[in-house]
Structure 1
Amino acid sequence: MVGRARDVNRAQLGAALRALRMASGKEAKAVARSALMSPSKLSKIENARLAPSAADVERILTAIGVSDEVKAEYTAAARASATETTAWRLLKRIGTHKGQQAAGALEAQMSMLRLFQPALVPGLLQTPEYIRAVLRRHSLSEDTLIRTVNGRLERQSVLYDGTKSLRFIITEPVLRWRIVPPQVMAAQLDRIASVSRLPHVDIRVVPLGVRQYDFANHAFVIRDDRMVTVETVHAEVVVTDPRDIGLYIGKFEGFEQAAVSGDDMLTLVAKIRDGFLRQQETG
């Protein structure tokens, strides 16, 4: 008897799909054809050599002919298992500039971005000098560094796509964390202020002086309501389980309420920018 979907983990999902297919009496080739995939792909999924996406699972179960209830349960199980972690060392081996291309492709497809960043200026808002300072910690070759900087700058074209809603929340330490010389930080803050004036872009800052009821654990990006990308010290984590996505949306909205926006945000940014300019004059 096939176990309930809530009892099926990622390793067992393929076996559960195979058991459901066999119980239906349908041959693998017929199911694969109806599910719009090759028989080899179905075989890899059933033998746990390939993790299926939620869409894969839904198509397979539709081809098998299970009830809507069973289909919903197993599709949810696929989403629940779909937390993928890719170590930075692997991304570096593949090519960090290709990572920029992949991120750009996701941003081209989305309609809304919500980004929380407690440590650095978000990549879409960074100046070329700031980008270089951030990327130098990865010990990239000069050629790779240039290609990655250019890739990030190309991604910034999404800022001018008025069909998208772009919402950024950064904490005040982001504005003060001096990883570049004072005059470069001042220019970076001018860049943030400038982009914030775009009608479809909302940039908010969580001030240090405001009482907080949550913790700024780490940066994360929510693309639509379908995917969350989390940057940790060792890896990039991609989350697609709707329940987990809901947690990040709630966290974002909490910080959104604590942040300043509009003229108050611009005043705070200008004050910090002026402080950097004074440092440059006396330095």
Structure 2
Amino acid sequence: MTFEPEELGRSRADLADTLKALRKRAGVTQTRLAQRCNMSQTKISNIETANLTPSLVDVELILRALDAPPDLVSRVVALTRSANTEWQDVWSQRRTGLEKKQNELAGFEKSSTDFRYFLLSMVTGLLATPEYVRASLAHVPGDHGKAIAKKLERQSVLYDTSKRFTFILTEQAARWPFLPASAMAMQLDRLASISRLPNVRFGVIHLAGHLPVCPLNTFTVYDTRIATVETSTGAMVFRHHRDVSAYVNEFRGYEELALFGDEARECLTLWASQYRS
């Protein structure tokens, strides 16, 4: 399926209108449909007003309860996948304020317990020193003091032991000279320190030997509900189980290639010493 960015925002409303029309055509009330689907009437109402994006399972239950014809089912399922995919371009984020994006990420972190980060080319904000955070926004015009403060504030989630984090960095992400040498050494020291947290699993993919896969993007998976994929001009947010599962499986492949524990820290310590020398 091909997603056009301008269509992704409309698909949620289209899906809500379609499901509402199907229910009314079948002569079924929200309360009755909720009973048939083992959902609350409030959830049905939120789906029909586009306040809640339903999962594919939700939609299949509704379509079955309404006895929708097979040709219509296939079209609504395709619309559901589109509704569960969101494009966030960088220019819109800059217009609305970068701190808004930080608040969204904080929301993902608050509602999730199991996190998978694959970092291809840079250190993510949760792992970054203040110098690295400031440098990551230096190319964007304007005053980003609030966004920087929010990025640093979000780091406290790492110390919530009810949550589990797995970070996998390529050697390039860890070693790319994004800061002056002394600051890069401090950034690598921070990575080594975070790797010792009891709820953090930290891996490094050493660029040596045979690597049978070639990653294309940095991505994050929140539980098995949401996957966010970064590009140069924005980010895709996936909620469809097929898309999220694909990134979970890709992450597992990188886990097999990564060094963890003391082996990862040995790499980080060596690279930090090289910067200091």
Asked whether the two chains share a fold, i.e. TM above 0.5, the reply is yes
How much has 1:36 moved relative to structure 2?
A: 2.1
CA drift of 1:151 comes to 0.3
For the residues of structure 2 that align with 1:74 and 1:54, how far apart are their CA atoms?
Answer: 15
Q: What is the TM-score when the length of structure 2 is the normalising length? A: 0.82
SS where residue 194 of structure 1 aligns? helix
CA–CA separation in structure 2 for the residues paired with 1:189 and 1:210: 23
| AA aligned opposite 1:199 | P
Which residue of 2 is the match for residue 218 of structure 1?
Answer: 217
- CA 62–131 in structure 1, closer or farther in 2 if over 3 Å, else same: same
Residues 24 and 64 in structure 1, CA contact (< 8 A), matched pair in contact too = no
Q: 1:57 to 1:274 in 2, by over 3 A?
A: closer
Q: CA deviation at 1:41?
A: 8.0
3-state secondary structure, aligned to 1:237: strand
Residue 139 of structure 1 aligns to which amino acid in structure 2?
Answer: P
Shift, 1:24, TM fit: 1.4
The structure number with the bigger radius of gyration is: 1
In the alignment, the residues of structure 2 paired with residue 254 and residue 196 of structure 1 have an alpha-carbon distance, to the nearest angstrom, of 20
Task: Give the RMSD, CA atoms, in angstroms.
Answer: 3.4
Pair 78,110 (structure 1): closer, same or farther in 2 beyond 3 Å: farther
User: Residue 27 of structure 2 aligns to which amino acid in structure 1?
Assistant: G
Percent identity, please.
32
What does residue 41 of structure 2 align with?
Answer: 35
Q: Compute the displacement of 1:30 (Å).
A: 8.6
Aligned position for 2:106: 104
Q: CA separation of 1:76/1:242 partners in 2, compared to 1, >3 Å: closer, same or farther?
A: farther
In the TM superposition, what is the alpha-carbon distance from 1:123 to its structure 2 partner?
A: 1.1
Q: Which residue of 2 aligns with 1:54?
A: 54
Q: 1:26 aligns with which of 25, 28, 35?
A: 28
- Change in 2 beyond 3 A, CA 1:252/1:209: same
In the other structure, the counterpart of 1:3 is: none
* 1:239/1:245 contact within 8 Å kept: yes
For the structure 1 residues 21 and 237, does the alpha-carbon distance in structure 2 shift closer, same or farther, using more than 3 Å as the test?
A: same
Equivalent-residue separation in structure 1 for 2:141 and 2:77 (angstroms): 40
**Pair 1:129-2:128 in alignment:** no
- More deviation in 53-62 or 88-97? 53-62
User: Shift in Å at residue 26 of structure 1?
Assistant: 3.5
What is the distance in 2 between the residues matched to 1:190 and 1:39?
A: 51
Aligned equivalents of 1:16 and 1:166: distance in 2?
39
1:225-259 Cα deviation digits (max 9, x unpaired): 00001111111210011111111011101011001
Distance 2:43 2:156 in 1: 35
CA contact (8 A) 2:116 2:167 kept: yes
Amino acid at match of 1:110: S
Q: Which residue of 2 aligns with 1:80?
A: 81
Separation of aligned partners in 2, 1:56 and 1:242: 8
- Look up the SS of the partner of 1:205 in the other structure: strand
Output the amino acid matched with 2:66. V
Output the CA distance in 2 between the equivalents of 1:176 and 1:149.
Answer: 22
Q: 2:45 and 2:196 mapped to 1: Cα distance? A: 52
Q: Given the two structures, how large is their TM-score scaled by the length of structure 1?
A: 0.80
Contact kept, 8 Å, 2:168 with 2:254, in 1: the verdict is: yes
Q: Which residue of 2 aligns with 1:239?
A: 238
Instruction: Provide the rounded CA distance (Å) in 2 between the counterparts of 1:29 and 1:258.
Output: 51
5+ residue gaps, structure 2? 1-9, 35-39
Quote the Cα distance in structure 2 between the aligned partners of 1:201 and 1:73: 41
Matched letter for residue 207 of structure 2: L
| Residue identity matched to 1:36 | T
User: Structure 1 residue 20: deviation in Å?
Assistant: 2.3
Cα distance, 1:139 vs. partner?
2.0
SS in 1 for 2:204: strand
Does structure 1 conserve the Cα–Cα contact (< 8 Å) formed by 2:33 and 2:65?
A: no
How far off is 1:103 after superposition? 0.7
Question: What residue is the counterpart of 1:66 in the other structure?
Answer: 66
User: Aligned equivalents of 1:203 and 1:18: distance in 2?
Assistant: 46
* Aligned positions, number: 259
Paired residues of 1:218 and 1:232 also in contact (CA < 8 A): yes
Give the 3 Å change call, closer, same or farther, for CA 69–92 of structure 1 in structure 2.
same
The amino acid that maps onto 2:181 is: P
Change in Cα spacing, 1:126 to 1:192, as seen in structure 2 (3 Å) is same
